[in-house]
A and B are shown apart, each in its own frame.
Chain A
Amino acid sequence: MTDISTGAARSLPQRARKSRFSAKAVLPYIFILPPVMYLAVFMFWPLARQIYLSFTKTRLINPSRSQFIGLDNYDRLLASPDFYSALHITVVYSVMAVVLGVALGTIAALALNRPFPGRTIVRAVLLFGWAVPNVAASLVWLWIFNERSGVLNRIVTGLGLDSVPWLTTTHMALPSVLLVTVWQVAPFVMLVMLAALQSVPEEVREAARIDNADKLNIFRAVTLPHVMPTLQLVSLLVAVWSIRRFDIIYLLTGGGPIGSTSTLIVKLRQTAFENHDLGLASAYGVIGLILALSVATIHALFNRHRAKRSMQ
């Protein structure tokens, strides 16, 4: 008995040492290494670099000669009316993109969730906006919005109205950009929401019918709670994408006219590559990052609240 126990005691540390380096222990790290490397090179390093740059005075012409200036860039940012304008436009653009994109996408998903002849074709047509690359879509819309030869103004003048300067007046530019954004975002929302709607258990819906619930109440009591987590997730995605969207806005208006569509990201590009001020541009980037992170935090808090409630 004693022999056995001492033998076991002796072999235990050996085994422990062996297992620490065994293939089984190392394997998970090998598997997660490629994504970690990818994220480190293309995400974490540039992010850290950006945060660092936001505390420096760095010119695009000679980035290596940067000078640490503490919070000066943020001071300049908070003192500049351009920043508040960009922040305001970013928030308005993102909120409207989420509200309109998610609402339209969800309505389309609800319509497509019931069988009707030609459903597959309608779904394919509605997905078109999402399938077209952003640059191609923006160029097509640029042509549609063209004040003289664009399709939209032909319709407007055909109706006997004056042609509309879609992208060239301050009060029309942001709604026009939003129109294209929603056209791109809504199909994605529709696709995700359709999948969520199709997973609503039919029996629970039937139970509600038995319980004398009308269609709106069935939607409120059964469908909506079931798809709510998906709805929140898709809203988060659309919000984050909108905060950092660059291509559509830049290609359609370039941030103009008179900065009326100049979001934080458009402003970042302008500051970095037109004004050559990498430090200030990085500060814009950090503010954008904080904005995106706060949206994600709100989503996480919602999730936690839901998890807590379901544990009751």
Chain B
Amino acid sequence: MPQITLGNIRKSFGSSTVIPDFSAQIEDGEFLVLLGPSGCGKSTLLRMIAGLSDISGGDLRFDGTAVNEWTPSQRGVAFVFQSYALYPHMTVRENIAFPLIMDAFQKWYHIPVVNSVMRWKLMRRPDIAERTDHIARQLELTPMMDRRPANLSGGQRQRVALARSLVRDPSLYLLDEPLSNLDAKLRTQMRSEISALHKRVKKTFIYVTHDQVEAMTMATKIIVMNKGEIQQIGTPDEIYANPANTFVARFVGAPPMNLLNVRQHGTVLSLDGGAEWTHPGILPTKQASLGIRPENLNLRPEGEGLIPIEVSLVERLGAETLLGCRMVSKAASETLLGEDLIFVRVQGNPQIEASARFGLSYAADDVRWYDQTSGQAVTVCDNSPLSRCA
């Protein structure tokens, strides 16, 4: 199993640069998710790792060996495409066995009649047939081995694509948004199947997606990308709890982290329009935006808490309720402040209606600070033993 090192990888198409400079290391057995919005270069990066696209600059190394010039098959990778890319005229069995047949293919089999005969013979060679059947059993494809992809459902096609990539027992699995063509229910099921597969085969997976739920649930490590650049590398928990910048804070989490462009006056925070409250903890040394996840805001009866709000949007999701709130100025209690809604996540369904008024409170530990110009996270230091600066 290779350790993959991406050293200053660059990709340009003509004069436009998609990935300016990308460096990262991927360890054995990791489930790495490349997460980012459409067009951020994550699929391009995956294709470069697979050898399907040329690398414009930098080094790609497998266990220290530069593989820039290696063909896809030399790299020994499996690739699962978004469109599944199954061979439409082959049966499921032929699709799964194809990589094995190609591995056993000799140059002289290209002679016209020999070709058909040898492919037919290879299909029936005990080791190939056995391996094909074994993988098909694993992915519950046995009943449909003689069907063609056109007559399979999306989920079944996806499983055939997975089976085809599994059959050669590669050391690196590359998956390019493999679940985006499936419906929500099937996606959940396939998500757990892929996670289980990763645990079973114990190989390195690199998974490209723009869906943060897939990233959070499957990854052991996430690289958040934007415009071809790394925004943050970390475990799902790290990325969620401590976003490195406002892009990550807004991209990861649904609804995203609330970001308030507050002004500091001593320990008092204020917003345009007059909302003012005393922050219950230590403030950063310079002006910064306050970031807080919706589940870390607590509802208090009107008149209590730190920030007075009015509910303007209620989304009841069953197990939880999302409230979109606007701030109410303390000075003129009729004015609702700010364009962006502050999202609050509450457990269950407390039957809150729009235009209800509450107060919001939060714990200082749950707050993240971001530089108002660069958007980068700002660390707050105090002398307590729990300080994150320690």
Contacts and interface: CB of A to CB of B under 8 A. Distances in A.
Interface in B81-132: 81-83, 85-91, 98-99, 102-103, 105, 110, 115
Contacts of B81: 203, 206-207
Contacts of B91: 312
Interface string B152-183: 00000000000010001000000000000000
A221 interface: yes
Interface stretch (A10-18, A70-78, A113-121, A211-219): A211-219
Contacts of A65: none
Given A210-B78, A211-B99, A213-B102, A312 B83 contact: no
Interface in B35-94: 50, 52, 71-73, 77-79, 81-83, 85-91
Given A212-B73, A312-B146, A206 B52 contact: yes
Given A209-B73, A310-B148, A222 B52 contact: no
Contact of A311 (B77, B82, B151): B151
Given A203-B85, A206-B79, A311-B151, A211 B98 contact: yes
B89 A225 contact: yes
Interface string A218-243: 00111001100000000000000000
A201 B50 contact: no
Given A209-B72, A210-B72, A210-B73, A312 B147 contact: yes
A212 B102 CA distance: 6
B364 interface: no
A151 interface: no
A210 B148 contact: no
A310 B72 CA distance: 30
Nearest to B147: A312
Given A206-B79, A221-B87, A221-B98, A212 B103 contact: yes
Contacts of B79: 206-207, 210
A309 B105 contact: no
A8 interface: no
B363 interface: no
A110 interface: no
B102 A207 contact: no
Interface in A268-312: 309-312
Contact of A212 (B99, B147, B148): B99
Contacts of B150: 310
A40 interface: no
A204 interface: yes
Interface in B170-221: none
Contacts of A211: 73, 98-99, 102, 164, 168
A216 B77 CA distance: 21
A217 B78 contact: no
Interface in A175-229: 201, 203-204, 206-214, 216-217, 220-222, 225-226
Given A210-B78, A211-B102, A217-B102, A225 B88 contact: yes
A220 B83 CA distance: 21
Contacts of A311: 151
> Which among A204, A210, A225 has the highest number of chain B CB atoms within 10 Å?
A210
Interface in B242-284: none
Nearest to A216: B110
A312 B102 CA distance: 24
Contacts of A312: 91, 146-148, 151
Given A217-B105, A312-B146, A222 B50 contact: no
Given A203-B83, A207-B85, A220 B102 contact: no
Given A310-B150, A312-B91, A210 B103 contact: no
B112 to A, nearest CB: 10
B94 to A, nearest CB: 9
Contacts of B102: 208, 211-213, 217
> Which among B72, B79, B82, B85 has the highest number of chain A CB atoms within 10 Å?
B85
Contacts of B147: 312
A124 to B, nearest CB: 25
Contact of A204 (B78, B82, B85, B103): B85
A213 B151 CA distance: 25
Contacts of B105: 212-214, 217
Contacts of B146: 312
A206 B110 CA distance: 20
A220 to B, nearest CB: 7
Contacts of B86: 204, 207
> Which among A211, A221, A309 has the highest number of chain B CB atoms within 10 Å?
A211
A120 to B, nearest CB: 19
Nearest to A224: B89
Contact of A210 (B50, B88, B151): B50
Nearest to B150: A310
Interface string A102-140: 000000000000000000000000000000000000000
A197 to B, nearest CB: 16
Contacts of A217: 102, 105, 110
Contacts of B50: 210
B75 to A, nearest CB: 9
9 nearest CB pairs, A to B: A212-B73, A207-B85, A211-B99, A225-B89, A203-B85, A212-B102, A210-B79, A204-B85, A210-B72
Given A210-B77, A312-B147, 13 more contacts: A203-B85, A204-B87, A206-B72, A206-B79, A208-B87, A208-B98, A208-B102, A210-B78, A211-B99, A214-B105, A310-B89, A310-B148, A312-B151
5 contacts: A201-B83, A221-B90, A225-B88, A309-B89, A310-B89
